[in-house]
A and B are shown apart, each in its own frame.
Chain A
């Protein structure tokens, strides 16, 4: 649960009867699959259960960031506020261009939602989706991530963390983005070069960021990202709803029970 306890060689050696590790959530970047395989331990995750909530949170972050919801809240409740100035404005979501990096289950659900806001949708993925899937959400494939970055008002990251996606968004990618663009991360902190992000935000290379994930979590208390007005951070709550967490737990139970009785394991990670 939340990637704990840490599974290392020492732990595996001390548990001779361990049959299965059930991991909450969909990401498995915190597990050494080769190591677990060597010890004959099976692994499961909870892939599809988390998709709706995570897509919802991606939309929540995009809307909150563009409309300056958190800043607005602070103005609305601040003891110093006497009036709401007319020239205090945010940016429009409806009709803007959303670039989705990683069009898996979660990315596709984000596209579905964004379409209802009349957004123009671009996406970058290892593989192109088929024509029906693309036209259902009006999404245009960008074979090169650079094309997506240059045209998007919002760049949303919904890839899983692999050696290929580690620091996928670095200084070069941030500089390709529009200075009016917002970066939204609902994948893993390590997909973004965090130091480059800080610099890009400080120098107005991009306009804003909204991050449900960072590296580490939580960030050290003096970290510059915590103080920036144009950054919203949430504490990795992509799947944090009562209903979904309960379903996750039930899924994990099913996987564990199957693993212990030698039956085929639902949501096994191979």
Chain B
């Protein structure tokens, strides 16, 4: 009989398109008996009682009522990454199952991604690259110009852990930092990064040269940035999204970019991901899209798995979880 003493951990798959990274398997196997969805479905009767935890990687496996009902000993679900919008938190809680995300692991890497996109867009790095390597180029265009980052105004929408790390980085570029958040940060925190609170999002949008969206996706933030918000932005402004595609009204964004309502956009996230291949956003010169890079480094992915394992082990041992997520 397989399984031994180690608690069963259900994962979607190992390797493959969205599976657990091969490099993490040895570490996981130290603490758990790994069960893939395929193994589980092929042998439900035997496997279902073994599963005490689920580790989600890129939002899989999908956790629905059916799955929850078939796992009587499930105690905890650990999500890789910080966003929980793909999970029905109330449903999971109703089964007495705890949940955790990985906020500490993701913040630096995601903040770096935000800054990378801001700089690449401002300085037209992708366009410049194509010019530099193009078979047609036999001269350097003297009027190939971008916009300044140093000394510009950055408006951060969503000043959580990630938003704050962005502020720390932006400060080093002598940027003027505005932020809009559900709650005011403490005065010392504001002063440390020189950030000014904007009570209204309109205030932030009107003053910013760069608008960086760093909120979690909730019913309140769905299509937070739409036609109206983009029209409030400066025509020279850049919109950067590292949160979730659905926070921005993509149709409105296409129009805004095509008609010069805003200067440019840089999107690490879209809805859906990837976009359909004929989507207008893929063809616009003033858009940079990246394939959800936020946590895609060897170091951060490994830190996410470590953080998940910490949370799972704490839950299984009845100890306080470092990053528990409650249903409200």
Contact = CB atoms under 8 A, between A and B. Distances in A.
B297 A89 contact: yes
Given A56-B173, A116-B171, A240 B132 contact: no
Contact of B144 (A72, A89, A240): A240
Contacts of A132: none
A86 B123 contact: no
A235 B291 contact: no
Interface string A1-43: 1100000000000000000000000000000000000000000
17 contacts: A52-B150, A59-B115, A68-B293, A69-B120, A73-B126, A86-B17, A90-B296, A90-B297, A92-B108, A114-B172, A115-B172, A227-B133, A232-B129, A233-B133, A237-B124, A237-B146, A241-B123
Contacts of B120: 60, 63-64, 69
Given A89-B301, A218-B132, A57 B123 contact: yes
Interface in A38-90: 52-53, 55-57, 59-61, 63-64, 66-70, 72-73, 75-77, 79, 81-90
Nearest to A117: B169
Interface in B144-174: 144-151, 168-169, 171-174
B137 interface: yes
A166 interface: no
Interface in B265-301: 273-275, 277, 282-283, 288-293, 296-301
Nearest to A109: B150
A221 interface: yes
Nearest to A89: B296
A237 B146 CA distance: 9
Contacts of A114: 172
Contacts of B57: 86
Interface stretch (A157-165, A198-206, A242-250): A242-250
A22 B16 CA distance: 59
A69 B297 contact: no
B308 to A, nearest CB: 15
Interface of A: 1-2, 52-53, 55-57, 59-61, 63-64, 66-70, 72-73, 75-77, 79, 81-95, 112-118, 217-219, 221, 226-227, 232-237, 240-245
A70 to B, nearest CB: 5
Contact of A241 (B140, B141, B146): B146
Contacts of A233: 129, 132-133
Contacts of A90: 293, 296-297
Given A63-B116, A233-B132, 11 more contacts: A56-B148, A63-B115, A69-B117, A76-B275, A87-B21, A226-B133, A235-B137, A237-B128, A240-B145, A241-B146, A244-B148
Contacts of A73: 126, 288-290
A240 B147 CA distance: 8
A182 B151 CA distance: 28
Interface of B: 15-19, 21-22, 57-58, 108-109, 111-113, 115-117, 119-120, 122-126, 128-129, 131-133, 135, 137-142, 144-151, 168-169, 171-174, 273-275, 277, 282-283, 288-293, 296-301
Contacts of B137: 218, 221, 235
A161 to B, nearest CB: 18
Contact of B274 (A60, A82, A232, A244): A82
Contacts of A83: 17-18, 274
Contact of B292 (A84, A118, A218, A226): A84
Contacts of B109: 92, 94
Contacts of A1: 142
Given A52-B150, A67-B112, A218-B138, A87 B172 contact: no
A67 B172 contact: no
A95 B139 contact: no
Given A56-B123, A86-B57, A67 B297 contact: yes
A87 B18 CA distance: 8
B15 to A, nearest CB: 7
Contact of A69 (B128, B174, B293): B293
